[in-house]
A and B are shown apart, each in its own frame.
Chain A
Amino acid sequence: MVRAAPFPLRIAGIVFVVLTGLLLLAPLIVVVGVSVSENQFIAFPPKGFSLRWYQEVLSSSTYLAAGLVSLQIGLLVTVSATLIGGAAAIAIHRRQLPASELIATVFLSPLVLPTIIYAIGMLMFWSAVFGSVSMMTLWISHTVITLPYVVRTTLAVLAESDPFLEEAARTMGAGRLRCLWFVVVPQCLPGLAAGAFFAFNISFDEAVLSLFLRKPGLTTLPVQVYGQLEFSPDPSVAAVSSIMIALTILLMIVIDRMLGLGKFASP
């Protein structure tokens, strides 16, 4: 694995990687294992094989309702975060704004602030100004926390773009909007797409904001799972979780095609 290392250390390295892989992947393997169990109770290793828990989930109105809420918010957040974050990234990249360093910092600040602090601030603010929380609250707050990801992926792509293309388009007589739409946005596209998928993934999996900003009828899938875990987990929770894991794998493959997972290595 590491060429320069002496033989015993290479063996130790392989053992280490296998153990670490086990640590990282164990919870996911266990959840998928439990979901296909025939047992009435949660048990790992699973006994037998059955898909009855998936059937149960797909005919459960609670899970379907929560899934629908998560999906709606996820899609809304994807659109709003991509549009707002993408536009901001283009402006930040040009470095012509007044106090552009400060603005860039502000756009990335939701990454640094722990979500729980933002969640409680948002809950208090919304209750004081608008009263009861709604889908709108979740949409807005999820957009805020996903914005930095879109800004970052778009900036990463723009950093490798050719600044003269824009200049050339302008010299050839393209107006501002035409230039933006036909020259700048196409260059951003891989970054925007990756950011969009990140935004969806984060919103869909997010539990802390959704726990603080919940009310009856506004339960997202992770909150529903959390609630089940606190009280009476049965293998159907594992089936829901496995469906969410499958969705994550799908998103990961798409992001890899768009931007390459290798980009993760340079945060």
Chain B
Amino acid sequence: MSDRTENLFLALPGLLLLALAFLLPIGQMLVLSVEGEDGPTLEHFSRFLLDPFYLGILWRTVRLSLVITAICALIGFPLAYIMARASPRTRLWLTIMVILPLMTSVVIRTFGWMVVLTRSGLIPTLLRDMGLAERNFALMQTETAIVIGMVQVLLPFMALSILGVLTRIDERLEEAARTMGCSFLQTVRVVILPLSLPGIVAGSLLCFTLSASSFVTPSLLGGARIQVLAASIYKSVTQVLDWPFAAAQAVILFAGILLVLAPYIRLTRQDRG
């Protein structure tokens, strides 16, 4: 047995599993999305892309994902910077603060938001008591609720992506900038921010992808009225039982995500090689 055979044997179970239970099902879905009663057809796609109702769902999905990603980046960058420059003890606690929610089921975290956002919940009551909201003010089943819930779900991904890049930045660069007369904020803006851009971009793409395809949080916080693409797919699969249409929607989601990811993947390829 040569080295090569040994390695092939080691990788084989995984390769088989991924080929049969991952690539094949996705291929099957691609095929189903163009399946018609008489031969291949694009009717499922045109049904989606020509209907204002579904276009509205698509636009809402994109819009919410952009807002969620932007908020995550705005909170994630300072958080990651503080994590990177804090004392080891503080950093450990901050890491726990970020990772504990990350490892908790999304269903449970959404449940927590449902409790505080509901009409008689903590946050609407507080806002009403402070006179900041009207009597019939509600947060549940609004896009705001989805954004709040999703930011909590995705912030850890953003913070960790940026932190990964920040920890590799030489601290002496900051010291140099300060010695040369930069104020702290100038240093952050001129030195740290540009250097951590790869982390911010990677984190943003991750957040956008995950929020565009998320299902549990938008469904529970947005309700049936405010549908996003993933919820529409789920509905087509479980309620309408229109699988080719569900497959077509999944392909549209997939294509959209690839469209966003492709330039980034090409960029990182060039970097490496």
Contacts and interface: CB of A to CB of B under 8 A. Distances in A.
Interface of A: 1-6, 9, 13, 16-17, 20-21, 23-31, 34, 42-45, 83-85, 87-88, 90-92, 94, 96-98, 103, 106-107, 109-110, 112-118, 120-126, 128, 140-141, 143-144, 147, 151, 176, 180, 201, 204-208, 211-212, 222, 225-226, 229-230, 233, 237-238, 241, 244-245, 248-249, 251-252, 261-262, 264-267
Interface stretch (B37-45, B49-57, B107-115, B129-137): B107-115
A173 B261 CA distance: 48
Interface in B241-267: 243, 246-247, 250, 253-254, 257, 261
B193 interface: no
Contacts of B18: 106-107, 109-110, 144, 147
Given A16-B78, A27-B113, A252-B99, A118 B25 contact: yes
B220 to A, nearest CB: 6
Nearest to A123: B237
B14 A6 contact: no
Given A6-B184, A27-B109, A120-B246, A211 B234 contact: yes
Contacts of B94: 17
Contact of A264 (B99, B107, B122, B174): B99
A90 to B, nearest CB: 5
A140 B17 contact: yes
A91 B17 CA distance: 16
**Majority secondary structure of chain B interface residues (helix, strand, loop or mixed):** helix
A103 B11 contact: yes
A28 B101 contact: yes
17 contacts: A20-B97, A23-B155, A24-B152, A26-B152, A27-B110, A30-B116, A87-B10, A94-B7, A122-B21, A128-B28, A211-B215, A212-B238, A226-B216, A248-B103, A251-B103, A252-B103, A267-B161
Indicate the size class of the contact surface on chain B.
Answer: 35 or more
Nearest to B148: A23
A99 B261 CA distance: 23
Nearest to B253: A117
Looking at B25, B94, B97, the one whose CB has the most chain A CB atoms below 10 A away is B25
B24 interface: yes
Interface core residue of B108, B163, B174, B238 (most chain A CB under 10 Å): B108
B82 A17 contact: yes
Interface string B67-108: 000000001001101110110001010111111110111111
A96 B247 contact: no
Contact of B21 (A88, A140, A206, A245): A140
B11 A87 contact: yes
A25 B92 CA distance: 16
B213 A85 contact: no
Contacts of A208: 215-216
A120 B29 contact: yes
A94 B107 contact: no
B112 A26 contact: yes
A28 B220 CA distance: 16
Given A144-B21, A261-B92, A117 B115 contact: no
B21 A141 contact: yes
Contacts of A264: 95, 99, 160
Contacts of A20: 75, 79, 97, 155
A87 B98 contact: no
B26 A3 contact: no
A251 B96 CA distance: 12
B225 interface: no
A112 B160 CA distance: 16
B172 to A, nearest CB: 12
Given A27-B108, A207-B216, A248-B100, A34 B11 contact: no
Given A117-B26, A143-B17, A42 B86 contact: no
Given A116-B250, A207-B107, A252-B100, A27 B122 contact: no
